[in-house]
Amino acid sequence: MNIRIGHGYDVHAFGDGDHVMIGGVRIAHDHGVLAHSDGDVALHALCDAMLGALALGDIGAHFPPADPQWKGADSRVLLRHCQALVAGRGWRLGNADLTVVCERPRIGPHAQAMREAIASDLGVDAGAIGVKATTSERLGFTGRGEGIAAHAVCLLVAA
Ligand SMILES: [Zn+2]
């Protein structure tokens, strides 16, 4: 088989802070997120999708929260690590599609910068990276503004 599909999902709760990292982009906000790393839900979901596509386990297995080397980690470093794993096994990213779920902050104005950051880390065209955002109509934990969720799917192609 010369294609593989992967799916990832991640959530972080809001906590104290003045910004959030989403899709590799720093967004000023009246909260931060609780996380061991920089708490970038979009990149964590994407890492899980890429790992999942090759059945390599999940992000927690590759970057254990208890490991001090990942404390406050820039999630773009994790993403590039996943990219290297994928490339090392003879695969490349065909495309990826991400959906970020939150009421605030607004994602739309930053979506293009996220696409470019992700594409640069994965060595692909920004046209291969979709970043979309939705609210959950004030329902559930995202609707109550308690946290942010992200979904990602990706297609890997034999290099
Ligand atoms: Zn995460």
pLDDT category, 69, cuts 50, 70, 90? confident
What is the Å distance from ligand 1's center to 30 Cα? Answer: 19
The CA distance from 16 to 6, in Å, is 32
Spatial contact of 122 and 87, defined as CB atoms under 8 Å apart: no
- Is 142 marked within a binding site? no
Neighbours of ion ligand 1 (CB under 5 A): 10, 44
Whole-prediction pTM: 0.97
Q: What is the pLDDT of residues 11-37, one digit of tens each?
A: 999 999 999 999 999 999 999 999 989
Contacts of 61 (CB under 8 A, 6+ apart): none
What pLDDT score does 28 carry? 97
Exposure on the CB side of residue 118, measured as CA atoms within 13 A:
30
What is the Å distance from ligand 1's center to 92 Cα? Answer: 23
Q: What is the pLDDT of residues 74-91, one digit of tens each?
A: 999 999 999 999 999 999
CA distances from 88 to 33, 63, 82, 91, 159 (A): 32, 18, 10, 7, 10
- Is 120 marked within a binding site? no
- Is 103 marked within a binding site? no
Domains and CATH numbers, the chain: 3-158 (3.30.1330.50)
Q: What is the pLDDT of residues 31-65, one digit of tens each?
A: 999 998 999 999 999 999 999 999 999 999 999 88
